[in-house]
């Protein structure tokens, strides 16, 4: 079974492709990325034991019938993932995240490939105390074009599973934190670490400081994908994949252990996506997966990568 990873050079993909040779030894790995973000460094120093090929291609325009081979397992990571900025260009977000996913899914169905689709726990957007995969439609309240596009992708896969026999699985990932070669800093924890290391205060809506949200350690994310591939977990189900539910206050306290002068600025203007909700991950645990990620470790590793900034050796922000 060949493994095809779309969006292979991004935050998650750049870590995943380094771990796949040890998670699934001997499997050929096809890396697909459109290079829009120019993260060439994600291809540097790949493990020598990996059987890699790379294809610069865009899922919106590529000839996917030629790109895919019968029996491939496709890990579909290609997406526009910045929820906050998705309000600026909702049409493009839907084109890439929903229409692009449909192109990949239809090609998989036609070729007899299996598909792992990365969705998001942000599709919940609910005030309920805790939600799981069995929640009703009234508890699926995406708060951004990004989350809306992911929910549309889920519905499309469900339809293709029924009508075209597509074998797929949907992972609703919590907000990612942790270090990778293609690391980005637009998600909450990574962004807070970046601001802390630059000496900037993190800005939080006053009433949101103790609200709960789901987060996922990158190491757990990579292991979860490897788990699904190794267990052939293409059962047409949705799985919530998250390391923990926590608050901005707890995140700030963890960062302060490594950047003691961190300042938290509370504001009265509402910041987007600050609804409080907890997400259950019991379904994935019962499938046999053990979460091992740690908030403090993930923050420490991120701060260590930026330690020169945190120490002020590269100059202060002006």
Alpha helices in 35-99 (DSSP H): 64-67, 90-94
> What does the pLDDT read at residue 120?
94
Q: Are 172 and 123 in contact (CB under 8 A)?
A: yes
Sign of CA dihedral 41, 45, 47, 48: positive
Q: Are 133 and 238 in contact (CB under 8 A)?
A: yes
Cα within 13 Å of Cα(47), Cβ side: 18
> What does the pLDDT read at residue 166?
98
> What does the pLDDT read at residue 8?
96
CB burial of 288-315 (b: ≥16 within 10 Å; e: otherwise) equals ebebebbbeebbbbbbeebeebbeeeee
Whole-number average pLDDT of the chain: 90
pLDDT in tens, 146-195: 889 999 999 999 999 999 999 999 999 999 999 999 988 888 899 999 99
> What does the pLDDT read at residue 86?
60
> What does the pLDDT read at residue 178?
95
Q: What is the mean pLDDT of each run of 10 residues along the chain (318 residues)?
A: 96 97 97 91 95 96 96 94 66 86 97 97 82 88 87 96 97 96 89 92 84 95 98 98 96 95 81 71 98 96 84 45
Taken in order of first residue, the domains within the chain and their CATH numbers are 3-177+217-241 (3.40.50.720), 188-213+244-278+294-310 (3.90.25.10)
Q: Which residues contact 294 (CB under 8 A, 6 or more apart)?
A: 217, 243
pLDDT in tens, 19-45: 999 999 999 999 999 998 888 999 999
Residue 261, both tokens: 């002068």
> What does the pLDDT read at residue 139?
82
Radius of gyration of the chain (CA): 19
């Amino acid at each position: 079974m060949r493994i095809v990873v779309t969006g292979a050079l991004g935050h998650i993909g750049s870590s995943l492709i380094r771990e796949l040779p040890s998670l699934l030894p001997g499997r050929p790995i096809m890396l697909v990325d459109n290079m829009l973000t120019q993260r060439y460094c994600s291809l540097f120093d790949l493990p020598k034991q990996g059987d890699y090929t790379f294809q610069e291609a865009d899922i919106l325009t590529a000839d996917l019938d030629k790109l895919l081979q019968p029996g491939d397992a496709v890990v579909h990571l290609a997406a526009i993932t910045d929820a906050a900025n998705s309000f600026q260009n909702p049409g493009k977000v839907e084109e890439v995240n929903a229409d692009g996913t449909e192109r990949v899914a239809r090609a998989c169905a036609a070729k007899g490939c299996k598909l792992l689709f990365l969705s998001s726990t942000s599709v919940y957007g609910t005030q309920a105390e805790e939600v799981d995969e069995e929640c009703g439609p009234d508890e699926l309240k995406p708060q951004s074009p990004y989350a809306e596009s992911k929910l549309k992708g889920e519905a499309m896969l469900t339809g293709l599973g029924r009508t075209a026999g597509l074998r797929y699985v949907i992972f609703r990932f919590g907000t990612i934190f942790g270090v990778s070669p293609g690391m980005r800093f637009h998600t909450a924890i990574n962004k807070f670490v970046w601001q802390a290391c630059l000496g900037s205060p993190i800005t939080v809506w006053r009433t949101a400081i103790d609200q709960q949200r789901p987060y996922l350690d990158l190491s757990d994310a990579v292991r979860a994908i490897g788990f699904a591939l190794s267990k052939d977990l293409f059962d047409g189900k949705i799985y919530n994949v998250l390391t923990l539910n926590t608050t901005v206050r707890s995140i700030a306290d963890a960062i302060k252990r490594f950047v003691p002068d961190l300042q938290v600025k509370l504001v009265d203007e509402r910041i987007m996506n600050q609804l409080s909700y907890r997400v259950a991950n019991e379904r994935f645990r019962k499938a046999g997966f053990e979460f091992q990620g740690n908030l403090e470790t993930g923050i420490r590793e991120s701060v260590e990568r930026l330690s020169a900034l945190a120490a002020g050796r590269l100059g202060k922000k002006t």
